Structure 1
Amino acid sequence: MTDTYLRIQGLTKRFGASVAVRDVDLDVRQGELVVLLGPSGCGKTTTLRMIAGFVEASEGRILLEGQDYAGLPPYRREMGMVFQSYALFPHMTVAQNVTFGLRMRKLPRPEIEARLAETLDMVKLSTMAERYPRQLSGGQQQRVALARALAIRPKVLLLDEPLSNLDANLRQQVAREIRALQRAAGLTALMVTHDQDEAMMMADRLVVMSDGLVQQVGTQEELYERPANTFVARFIGHSNLIRGMLEGGERLVIPGATIGLAGHYDSSGDCTLAIRPERARICAPDDPAARITAKVEDATYVGAHVEVLLVLPDSTRVILHDPTDGGAARRFAPGDLAGIAWDLASERLFDDAGAPLAARSPVHA
């Protein structure tokens, strides 16, 4: 990557014999918002706290504009942190909370007042400077926490699950506000979340983590369309994963059936087929395009599509989204046989180690 502003190299954290984060490498451009995404316990928050300086790294470097920050205390890292709990001082007003970091840095009073006015205006809280946190809504408290981090004019803004304490109706609104502020200020930001929708909405790039390891780094489209392994395929969006034995480069054999693949692969042995629910179509069992026949277990109308649950001959369950097209789509009843069809662009095949396989050519019917 060119124009790297923040560089993480080999960042590792051990707690005794347990490794919470292992060998994380990441380059972040100036003005970019990068989201660390993964399930609980994957190491994303520990990674963020190592970058902030609240957790000491066991190994690795944290380079900001070429300077190694790994050995510096948090107050010297020039980073602003927004905590999951907001961590506002309940006995202080909004103004006192926002200027706390500035007062600790012993900035001149006129500069503190100027930054307070600028920051409160930025987060649209100018009229609430004398209120206390208990007098604010959850969304307003979140904006105070954000203003406090922005007031010190950080080189990097760090956000730890910033929307997790908001109700569902507020999350999208506040997510857009944070994204707009970050872009307007040209801030470099790292955010942690376990919520895929938040990550997809806010990120320039995503870092998907599992078991302390980075699984893939990329844009939303790259991770969704070209997952690096079966974990990413399952975690980003939803994928039906079907395990079987690849034979002849174009057939996946499962107990009781053979699936005709859309691509020809220069491989053999144990493999996993990943198909997204919206990328396959349900058809009649005798349709020539059907790659396998399955039994319908359930079909539920959910508005834009009918969610069809099917059972393959080996008892693997798969979900397909059948578009309703204004209510005219065919409904499948439990017990019906149905075919499943897809094209090469919708097919993802992974070897036994979870690495993606590239098709050498399409299989012609």
Structure 2
Amino acid sequence: MKIAQLLNVSHSYSGQPAIKNISLGFEEKKITTIIGRSGSGKSTLLQFINGLIKPSAGSISVFGKGLNYKEISATRLRMGYMVQGTGLFPHFTIAENISIAARISSYPLDVNQRVRELMTLVGLPDSFQRKYPFELSGGEQQRVGICRALFLDPAILLMDEALGSLDPITRQEIQSEILKLQRLEPRTILLVTHDMREAKILSDYILVIDKGEVQQYDTKEEVLQRPANAVVEKLIEASVW
């Protein structure tokens, strides 16, 4: 099942084409990595799905329905969103940061219990609940960001260069956490990156985009073994360990 779909979608910024007539769908409960060079249109695709940007042309459907931009909040509550850096509120405790969605969603369950569940899931001690972001390492903060994004148990998790600011060792640790969480609680993850090595580790599917156009979209194995063109080949060659 395609949990999110783009049909004949194009978009321009100040008259400059950013996305050029893209039609595709994302598989449910799979990790799709969206990869390309800077300015290729990767992040714009996530913003389409979250309703942050309305395309200049074409249509977006999520959860089987066309996006209703006048009532987009209800759709967004079914998605988690992570960006580069943690985006944590420095004046909130860790528990308050994780549970921020409960303040805007009339969360019906025990908030404290959900915070504890998520912290346990990503290996954070319960004592961290009362700490503030500045008291945690970068990797610990990123784990808090994962907890916050998953608080409402979203069907879709959008990750926009979410691991890009981490050192290599911490980045590998968080990648392992993501795969562990995906095994325990499968969901649709759309992850934007410029790093093909990260795509190799995390992906079920890889979408390669360049200059606003899809270069290849297929299973990880198909993309890596049979690159569609020179653009894809260069990305793969640049990631050789």
- TM surpasses 0.5: yes
Partner in structure 1 of residue 161 of structure 2:
161
Secondary structure of residue in 1 paired with 2:177? helix
Q: Which residue of 2 aligns with 1:345?
A: none
Given candidates 42, 63, 66, the residue that maps to 1:65 is 63
List aligned pairs for 1:326-337, cutoff 5 A: none
The CA distance in 1 between the partners of 2:71 and 2:175, in whole Å, is 29
Is the contact made by 2:4 and 2:60 (CA closer than 8 Å) also made in structure 1? yes
Letter paired with 2:28: Q
* Alpha-carbon shift at residue 75 of structure 1 (Å): 2.8
Partner SS for 1:47: helix
- 1:26 positional shift: 2.1
2:27 maps to a residue whose letter is: R
Query: What's the % identity of the aligned pairs?
Result: 35
In structure 1, C-alpha distance between the alignment counterparts of 2:84 and 2:140, rounded to whole Å = 14
- Give the gaps of 5 or more residues in structure 1: 240-276, 278-303, 305-365
What are the within-5 Å matches in structure 2 for residues 19-58 of structure 1? 19-58=17-56
The aligned runs of 1:285-296 (5 Å cut-off) are: none
Moved more, 195-204 or 221-230: 221-230
Distance 1:70 1:176, change over 3 A: farther
| 1:228 to partner: Cα distance | 1.3
**Residue identity opposite 2:93 in structure 1:** T
1:76 counterpart SS class: helix
Change (3 A) 1:97 1:215: same
Q: Superposition pairs for residues 76-155 of structure 1, below 5 Å?
A: 76-77=74-75, 78-108=78-108, 110-127=109-126, 128-155=128-155
Listed as ranges, the gaps of 5+ residues in structure 2 are none
CA distance in 2, matches of 1:79, 1:43: 20
Change (3 A) 1:187 1:40: same
Please, what TM-score do these two structures have when normalized by structure 2? 0.91
Larger radius of gyration: 1
How far is the alpha carbon of 1:172 from its aligned partner? 1.2
**Greater helix content:** 2
User: Which position in structure 1 is the counterpart of 2:193?
Assistant: 193
- Residue type of the partner of 2:154? P
- Give 1:29 shift: 2.1
Q: Quick one: distance in 2 between partners of 1:96 and 1:126? A: 15
Deviations 1:92-113 (A, max 9, x none): 01100011011111224x5322
State the SS of the aligned residue for 1:236. helix
| Cα-to-partner distance string for 1:305-363 (whole Å, 9 max, x where unaligned) | xxxxxxxxxxxxxxxxxxxxxxxxxxxxxxxxxxxxxxxxxxxxxxxxxxxxxxxxxxx
Q: Distance in 2 between matches of 1:193 and 1:217?
A: 15
| Counterpart for residue 262 of structure 1 | none
Q: Deviations over 1:177-206 (max 9, x none)?
A: 112212321111100000111111101010
**Cα offset for 1:70?**
5.5
- Structure showing greater relative contact order (alpha-carbon pairs closer than 8 Å, 6 or more residues apart): 2
Amino acid at match of 2:49: I
Partner of residue 175, structure 1: 175
Letter in 1 for 2:64: G
Q: 1:146 to 1:75 in 2, by over 3 A?
A: farther
Letter in 2 for 1:182: Q
In 2, are the aligned partners of 1:6 and 1:28 still within 8 Å (CA)?
yes
Q: Which amino acid aligns with 2:23?
A: D
- The answer for the alignment partner of 2:214 in structure 1 is 214
Output the CA distance in 2 between the equivalents of 1:114 and 1:12.
43
How far apart, CA to CA, are the structure 2 residues paired with 1:96 and 1:30? 30
Partner of 1:341: none
Structure 1: how far apart are the matches of 2:62 and 2:157?
A: 12
- Residues 84 and 165 in structure 1, CA contact (< 8 A), matched pair in contact too: yes
Task: Name the counterpart of 1:237.
Answer: 237
Other structure's SS at 2:148 match: helix
Q: How far 1:87 moved relative to its partner?
A: 0.9
Q: Tell me the CA shift for residue 167 of structure 1.
A: 0.5
Matching residue of 1:202: 202
